[in-house]
Chain A
Amino acid sequence: MNASAGLMLRLAPYLSVVAIRFKILLQYRAAALAGFGTQLFWGLIKIMVFVAFYASATSPPPMSFAQVLVYIWLGQALLALLPWNVDSEIATHIRTGGVAYELLRPLDLYGFWYARTIAFRSAPTLLRLGPMLAFAYLFLPLIGLSEWALPDPAGGLSLLLFVCSLGATLLLASAITMIMHIALLWTVSGDGFNRLMPGIVPVLSGLTIPLPLFPDWMQTFLYWQPFRGVADVPLRIYSGHIAATEAGFEILLQLAWTAIIIAFGYWLLIRGRRKLVVQGG
């Protein structure tokens, strides 16, 4: 009891940072609305493409069409969670030397930034999630397109495990985004990452094409890379493509990747701070 109260006291500043940044980001409703429009459009196009694929399939595909629908709609809803861009606030701090003030706070710098990164990944996602679910789950059946709608989860347990996995996804995606933030200490401008990552992340996470549909010879590689944990895993837990019995291990794997990437980020930040010192804040 005492230990947990002590932990809360230690974590309190970081939680406040998450809360306040979250609140600021929720103000960007226009961007969310625009994003929602685009993602809706892409979701419908992808469905039409897969309808065509599945109609002409000669052998049974490794995923049912319902599972693909889950993958597409939840993928679109959770798109903002993908670690493919940097928080412009942190980028500006680094470029203009505002990092000096960050170092004046009695907080661990990694923790301070990680807290903000969690808010940066989750707030825009939350803004888009509601409308997208409402459209894909409620609205499509209403207009007679129930065969394109978001299906129910594979079961109550699968839904619960999906929520847990989604939590792990947030931690993992934030840890990957942190690597990009820390790398800014060297590259200064975030443009490089902002162009590189949108090419890599959607493919490796499965959002371009669901990972189970890739050729067999690629599956081992796809299984053992961290980006799978930012989309493929939770989406397949929801649809039951990953059985509830296997989901626990998959979530552990997500958390293991998170731990590895956080450790790497920590190490990188220590080196980056030395670099910062050379530049003179």
Chain B
Amino acid sequence: MAQILVENLEKRYRIAERKPGLWGAVSGLVNRVYRDVDALHGVSFSIEPGELVGYIGPNGAGKSTTIKILSGILVPSGGHCIINNRIPWKDRVAHVAGIGVVFGQRTQLWWDLPVIESFDLLKDIYRVLPLAYRTIRDELITLLDLEALLDTPVRQLSLGQRMRCDLAASLIHQPDILFLDEPTIGLDAVAKLSLRHFVKRQNRERGTTVLLTTHDMDDIEFLCDRLMLINHGTLLMDGTVNDLRSSARRVVVDFEVVPALSPEHLALRLDPGAPLTERVEFQVSSQVPAFVSAITAGYPVRDLTVEHQPIEEIVADLYRRLK
């Protein structure tokens, strides 16, 4: 049975609207006008134990709202959600004991405390037994390379250091589900890499189920077998990264001279309106080998590469089309 089951999840926020200006402020005191915003519009999916799922969508698509409902923080306006046989918001205390959550935008560590004391406190809060705590703590310290940071107060950590500590903090009670809400936001390349490797390892070796929201497509490519795309509160796609990629290929050709392309080839250019130069990018959706031989036979070619369309562009295209 699915570990996380979500059916027709809906969330409607009521937002108090204020007319601009002084009169708006005054009339707002007497006559509040509310506007309903549908953050989630019937989202359904299910996740099996041990899956590593990427959850992507533009800002305001409903990603964080979903994560907050799954974490038991928010109550949905409609629909069902069962995680480990519990309804998160109804059985919050039991539910949160079995999940780990990281919100990339804020820390769960105590600002004024050295990192290690935050860990100790979390041990008490989650009622982790001392022996189990020592084992998991030492393991996390090694894997995330935290040894040198342990005595530093959290407010003095860099963002990358803090995120590693936050990740460790979310795993001290050994949850079997991990929700990561934009964990790589603002991190430099090195910090991102180490975070990705750790998350992948946690998933592979411990079998932790991971649901991850991100704007970084490299995160998705590196980590996720499965991808869910949401926009305007509706799930638009649920499949593999390859599904999203489609069969389209990008063919980049460096010609010896500016080529006199046939009209058929001109139409296949990625940007048909651009002026011709030695380098031309083509978008070829089928018969790629035939296209490549036609090009190499028909024009003097210096270099030629065939690549997948970068996933950012696919998603950006999708977003644009969906708007």
Identify the A interface with B (CB < 8 A).
9, 12-13, 16-17, 20, 24, 27, 96-98, 100-101, 103-108, 274, 277-281
Q: Which of B99, B110, B112 has the largest count of A CB atoms less than 10 A from its CB?
A: B112
Distance of A20 Cα from B39 Cα, bound (Å): 38
With A20-B117, A100-B106, A104-B72 known, 11 other A-B pairs at CB within 8 A are: A9-B127, A12-B127, A13-B125, A17-B124, A100-B68, A101-B101, A104-B71, A104-B101, A106-B96, A280-B13, A280-B39
Name the B residues within 8 Å of A278 (CB-CB): 13-14
Give the distance to chain B from A166, nearest Cβ to Cβ, in Å.
27
Residue of A nearest to B74 (CB): A277
Known: A104-B101, A281-B74. A96 touches B13 (CB 8 A): no
Contact indicator B124/A13 (Cβ below 8 Å): yes
The contact of A104 among B65, B73, B94, by CB within 8 Å, is: B73
Distance of A203 Cα from B37 Cα, bound (Å): 47
The contact of B68 among A17, A20, A274, A281, by CB within 8 Å, is: A281
* Interface size counted on chain B using CB atoms at 8 A: 29
Distance of A277 Cα from B65 Cα, bound (Å): 11
Give the distance to chain A from B141, nearest Cβ to Cβ, in Å.
20
Enumerate the 8 nearest inter-chain pairs by beta-carbon distance, A residue then B residue, closest first: A16-B124, A106-B97, A13-B125, A103-B73, A101-B108, A106-B93, A24-B112, A104-B96
The contact of A105 among B65, B94, B125, by CB within 8 Å, is: B125
Name the B residues within 8 Å of A103 (CB-CB): 71-73, 92, 96
Known: A20-B117, A280-B74. A105 touches B96 (CB 8 A): yes
Name the B residues within 8 Å of A277 (CB-CB): 74-75
Identify the B interface with A (CB < 8 A).
13-14, 39, 65, 68, 71-75, 92-94, 96-97, 99, 101, 103, 106, 108, 110, 112-113, 117, 121, 124-127
Contact indicator B125/A280 (Cβ below 8 Å): no
Contact indicator B96/A101 (Cβ below 8 Å): no
Distance of A141 Cα from B97 Cα, bound (Å): 57
Give the distance to chain A from B44, nearest Cβ to Cβ, in Å.
21
Give the distance to chain B from A275, nearest Cβ to Cβ, in Å.
11
Selected A-B contacts with CB under 8 Å, 7 pairs: A20-B113, A100-B68, A101-B101, A103-B92, A104-B99, A106-B94, A278-B13
Residue of B nearest to A21 (CB): B110
Give the distance to chain A from B249, nearest Cβ to Cβ, in Å.
42
Name the B residues within 8 Å of A108 (CB-CB): 93
Give the distance to chain B from A30, nearest Cβ to Cβ, in Å.
15
Residue of B nearest to A27 (CB): B112
Distance of A96 Cα from B106 Cα, bound (Å): 9
Distance of A97 Cα from B3 Cα, bound (Å): 28
